[in-house]
A and B are shown apart, each in its own frame.
Chain A
Amino acid sequence: MSEVEARGLEVRYGNFTALAELDLKVAPGQFLVLLGPSGCGKSTLLNAIAGLQDVTKGQVWIGGRNVTWAEPRDRGIAMVFQSYALYPKMTVRQNLSFGLKVAGLPAAEIDSRVRSAAETLQLGALLERRPAELSGGQRQRVAIGRVLVRKASVFLFDEPLSNLDAQLRVELRREIKRLHRHLGSTSIYVTHDQVEAMTLADNIAVMNKGRIEQLGTPEEIYGKPASRYVAGFVGSPAMNFIEGTLESTGGQPVFRWGGRGVPLSRYDMRDGTHADGRRVLMGLRPEHALLGDAAAAADFDENCTIDMVEKMGSDTLAWCFSTSGHQLSVRADADSGLREGETIRVGLPASRLSLFDAATGERL
């Protein structure tokens, strides 16, 4: 189990900066997810760590060694790709053993490793088949098997589940998590799917324009997003945002908009933030809104007229217009019986809000 580290890593294509002076440390055995939209540099970072992408500046360290210019095979890594990347003319067995053969392992050792990987992934019956004769899920299992047989100390995953249908994705997600628990290899996993990120990760690094916006546990990323960008990207349905000002009333900070104010005495404000009337964005997750009787106990509450109701099955999402003219989405129980046109009371608990500087986007 190796530590993986990027030191001041920079990758540029001509004038385009794909990675900008990026520092990242992944502890041995940790499962790190790189999360971000396409073009944010997450795959570039993974490829740079794998040695498949030349870096412009900076260093890559794996297991205490500077491997910046080492060949991929000399880095102690194994990798799973989005398109499976199986060798089409080889059988499953040949696909699994190719890397070991190249490494010159004895046949008996290769055979036992292939057999054990096939057993772990339930591929035993498919060993003599070609990739074309396998389903998508089976193919990705083989790709994961190719990682297992290498007994690498670092596993790299490049959007491995994106090509699969929803059900298989959930199934293989669990399988990957179980494998990680079982093997404990340091893992770096690239995805744009926040559910995958939340469920798999020990730590999530949310990336934007070649930088890491926030690095933290899934709870931190979700509950205390470090920036407006992270808050908007993580969470589905998305966070509600209201623009207003941060002012001070009687020594206490208050969020004000349209003549209304949310007292923030219970908000965990970052030290050194001055309530000086600056423009801020207030963020509220739909499930943190308090409805009905509970709303009265919140730091602030007002009426909201329901415009549309979306039933998710497990719960219900209601879109409503508040009396201050903002559209809010609030989550309610599936059996709450909310109807379109109905006016409900919505409460905002200050402790669960997120405040961002409107100019810089940083959390306050």
Chain B
Amino acid sequence: MTDVVISAQQDRSGHAHAGRKPRRMSADRAGVYAFLLICTLFFLIPIYTMVSTSVKDMADIRASNVLSPPQQVTLAAWGTAWNSACTGLDCSGVKVGFLNSVKIVVPVVLLSILLGAVNGYVLSFWRFRGANIVFTVLMIGAFIPLQVVLFPLVKMWAALGIYGSLFGVIAVHVIFGLPVVTLMYRNFYASLPIEIFKAARVDGAGFWRIFWSVMLPMSAPITIVVIIWQATGAWNDYILGLTFGGRENAPMTVQLNNIIGSQTGERQFNVEMAATLMTAAVPLLIYIVSGRWFVRGIAAGAVKG
């Protein structure tokens, strides 16, 4: 106690700050910066190559190496990739896959939010007998590798008549995402004061009223996390789209693979790069726009809002 008081007094009189101001740059500092720079380049060079290749024309690509800058910037390859790149005989570009992916991702995200939020709400506030067992089973579900259940699922979906349909892909995505999404919502709701729930019950609100009017409006932080999680997950998915989507509903990732895999003759690197960049753009955009909220939402449980 006494020590604390004395040092505080020293502080005020300035003695504690009497030393020389430390130098900004030192040898170890420089080493750290150099390391960071190398790491950055390591990740940036492939991206640079992709972007620069996608804006070259074929003559330029043939004449230069991958690292040299484009002689002339042209967006022709982007147009080709979007409108007329071929998968086999079908030459209507990646826009088909893009639309398919949108048709998959949007319902997946909406359904995941709804079902996950209701699940989490029930598991946090309407504890029933055996709720812990249900929760445990759900958690085990989160750790089962997809590939293990792929074949039985195909048989089941075929029996139900939804194999190869848009609904079939969406259903698989939602079901496989549900354990983690439920966990996210449950933990978020568990961090809220239970008294808000009690107050709503005393106010006379029932199960759905409390959910829609009280809980869901409070769920924005975790919902943003779920949107990012499920949207990027569903967008980047390859195996589920390939297995359950069938030909018509192939998502962008599957189509991209087909375009790159089915080309004959001279490889059109610029078109391939452009198509790949377009496919990667969506999750990238989601991260850039909402990364800030993502971190905030993940941390939301820790600090009572």
Asked if A and B bind, the verdict is yes
Chain A residues near B (Cβ < 8 Å): 47, 50-52, 71-73, 77-79, 81-90, 98-99, 102-103, 143, 146, 150, 158
Query: In the assembly, what is the distance between CA of A103 and CA of B205, in Å?
Result: 8
Contact with A along B183-212 (1 / 0, CB 8 A): 000000000010110111111110001000
User: Are A52 and B193 within 8 A (Cβ)?
Assistant: no
Closest to B305 in A: A88
User: Which one of B201, B203, B217 has the highest number of Cβ atoms from chain A below 10 Å of its Cβ?
Assistant: B203
> Which B243-275 residues have a C-beta within 8 angstroms of A?
none
User: Are B200 and A87 within 8 A (Cβ)?
Assistant: yes
Please give the distance in Å from A359's CB to the nearest CB on chain B: 41
Please give the distance in Å from B34's CB to the nearest CB on chain A: 46
Please give the distance in Å from A270's CB to the nearest CB on chain B: 42
Summed over the interface, the residue pairs from A and B with CB atoms below 8 Å come to a total of 66
User: Are A103 and B204 within 8 A (Cβ)?
Assistant: yes
B213 contacts the other chain (Cβ, under 8 Å)?
yes
B99 contacts the other chain (Cβ, under 8 Å)?
no
Contact with A along B118-151 (1 / 0, CB 8 A): 0000000000000000000000000000000000
Contact A72:B217 (CB < 8 A) given known A81-B195, A83-B193, A88-B305: no
Please give the distance in Å from B224's CB to the nearest CB on chain A: 15
A72 partner residues in chain B, CB cutoff 8 A: 198, 201-202, 204
Please give the distance in Å from A14's CB to the nearest CB on chain B: 13
Query: In the assembly, what is the distance between CA of A73 and CA of B193, in Å?
Result: 20
Query: In the assembly, what is the distance between CA of A165 and CA of B201, in Å?
Result: 28
Query: In the assembly, what is the distance between CA of A84 and CA of B192, in Å?
Result: 13
User: Are A98 and B196 within 8 A (Cβ)?
Assistant: no
A71 partner residues in chain B, CB cutoff 8 A: 201
User: Are B204 and A102 within 8 A (Cβ)?
Assistant: yes
B203 partner residues in chain A, CB cutoff 8 A: 73, 98-99, 102, 146, 150
Query: In the assembly, what is the distance between CA of A150 and CA of B203, in Å?
Result: 8
User: Are A52 and B204 within 8 A (Cβ)?
Assistant: no
User: Are A52 and B198 within 8 A (Cβ)?
Assistant: yes
Closest to B203 in A: A99
B204 partner residues in chain A, CB cutoff 8 A: 72-73, 99, 102-103
